[in-house]
């Protein structure tokens, strides 16, 4: 079982027309956030089916996929890492050493710019880094949030989705406050999304309290996302701050 096997399986279901559409959708043109990213035209459900077949791929072979110029190869690698981390987290097969090795590979890929589009971040951060850090110090997320790299900052924010789902909004709110002045569109959307999830899963009052203190300094996109599910009067009031 090798990276080349995964590449061959993905190529067998690739569609050139989808490749063109995906490159447009994911903003791969000159000056866009994913400039130069390459797609072969495999849709996500097919990528997930193939990744499931290769869930036992070694970490070294996963690295080969992560270093590919092809987007779907990197997505397949991350889906496999998710599955391996989940397997190492189950009570019957719990393996802290395996978890640590997966996290190390994931962070290395993030830092060398291989988790470099919003779907790649969103498909992995909450499934790997979030669960790993839930009962550990979270300084790493604040370091990533200070990075000049857009994707590292988004990894920091999206990792906290795992905390929110377990009833802990503290790190999400701290990171969103630190990133108030960040006007990168994909960070605005990430912080607004996570704040909205705080309101939905933790409590409306927690979200409204945060926004009453911080709405004036937030970008419009983040504020729009965060208030999306609030009642019209509250939404209108907060957006006017």
Here the CATH number for the domain that contains residue 103 is 1.25.10.90
Q: 40 with 106, same domain?
A: yes
If you average pLDDT over residues 17-39, what whole number do you get? Answer: 93
pLDDT digits 0-9 by tens, 32-76: 999 999 999 999 999 999 999 999 999 999 999 999 999 999 999
User: Is-contact 18 42, C-beta < 8 A?
Assistant: yes
Question: b/e string for 204-239 if b means 16 or more Cβ within 10 A?
Answer: eebbbebbeebbeebbebbbbbbbeebeeeebebbb
CA dihedral sign, ordered 77, 33, 225, 139 = positive
Domain that holds residue 21: 1-112
Q: 164 with 92, same domain?
A: no
If you average pLDDT over residues 181-186, what whole number do you get? Answer: 96
Q: 99 with 201, same domain?
A: no
Asked whether residue 122 is domain-assigned, the answer is no
Q: Which of 97, 112, 127 is the last residue of a domain?
A: 112
Distance CA 76, CA 12 (A): 14
Which residues, at least 6 apart from 202, have a Cβ–Cβ distance to it below 8 Å?
Answer: 164, 167, 169
pLDDT given at position 1: 87
Greatest CA span in the chain, whole angstroms?
57
First-to-last CA distance in the chain?
56
pLDDT digits 0-9 by tens, 149-181: 999 999 999 999 999 999 999 999 999 999 999
Asked whether residue 119 is domain-assigned, the answer is no
Q: 22 with 103, same domain?
A: yes
Q: 14 with 88, same domain?
A: yes
Residue 117 pLDDT exceeds 90: yes
Q: 160 with 217, same domain?
A: yes
Asked whether residue 130 is domain-assigned, the answer is no
User: Is-contact 1 56, C-beta < 8 A?
Assistant: yes
If you average pLDDT over residues 99-116, what whole number do you get? Answer: 97
Please state, rounded to an integer, the average pLDDT across all residues of the chain. Answer: 96
Asked whether residue 213 is domain-assigned, the answer is yes
C-alpha 59: how far from chain center:
20
Q: 75 with 146, same domain?
A: no
Fill in the DSSP letter of residue 38: B
At residue 230, φ and ψ (nearest 5 deg) are -80, 160
Q: 92 with 161, same domain?
A: no
Q: If DSSP codes are grouped into helix, strand and coil, which group holds residue 82? A: helix
At residue 70, φ and ψ (nearest 5 deg) are -90, 125
Q: 36 with 106, same domain?
A: yes
Asked whether residue 161 is domain-assigned, the answer is yes
Return the half-sphere exposure (C-beta side, CA atoms, 13 A cut-off) of residue 237.
10
> What is the domain count for the chain?
2
Q: 2 with 105, same domain?
A: yes
Q: 13 with 102, same domain?
A: yes
Q: 218 with 177, same domain?
A: yes
Asked whether residue 203 is domain-assigned, the answer is yes
């Amino acid at each position: 079982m090798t990276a080349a096997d995964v590449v061959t399986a993905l190529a067998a279901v690739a569609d050139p027309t989808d490749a063109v559409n995906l490159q447009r959708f994911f903003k791969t043109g000159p000056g866009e956030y994913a400039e130069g990213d390459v797609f072969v035209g495999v849709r996500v459900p097919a990528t997930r089916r193939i990744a499931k077949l290769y869930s036992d791929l070694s970490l070294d072979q996963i690295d080969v996929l992560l270093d590919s110029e092809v987007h779907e190869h990197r997505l397949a690698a991350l889906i496999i890492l998710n599955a391996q981390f989940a397997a190492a987290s189950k009570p019957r097969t719990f393996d802290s050493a395996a978890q640590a090795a997966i996290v190390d590979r994931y962070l290395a890929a993030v830092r060398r710019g291989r988790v470099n589009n919003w779907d790649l971040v969103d498909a992995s951060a909450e499934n790997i880094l979030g669960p790993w850090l839930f009962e550990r110090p979270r300084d790493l997320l604040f370091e990533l949030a200070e990075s000049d790299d857009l994707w590292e900052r988004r990894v920091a924010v999206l990792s906290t989705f795992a905390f929110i789902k377990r009833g802990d909004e503290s790190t999400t709110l701290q990171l969103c406050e630190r990133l108030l002045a960040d006007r990168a569109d994909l960070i605005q959307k990430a912080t607004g999304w996570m704040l909205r999830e705080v309101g939905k899963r933790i409590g409306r009052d927690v979200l409204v309290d945060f926004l009453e203190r911080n709405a004036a300094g937030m970008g419009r996109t983040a504020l729009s996302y965060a208030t999306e599910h609030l009642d019209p009067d509250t939404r209108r009031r907060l957006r006017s701050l």
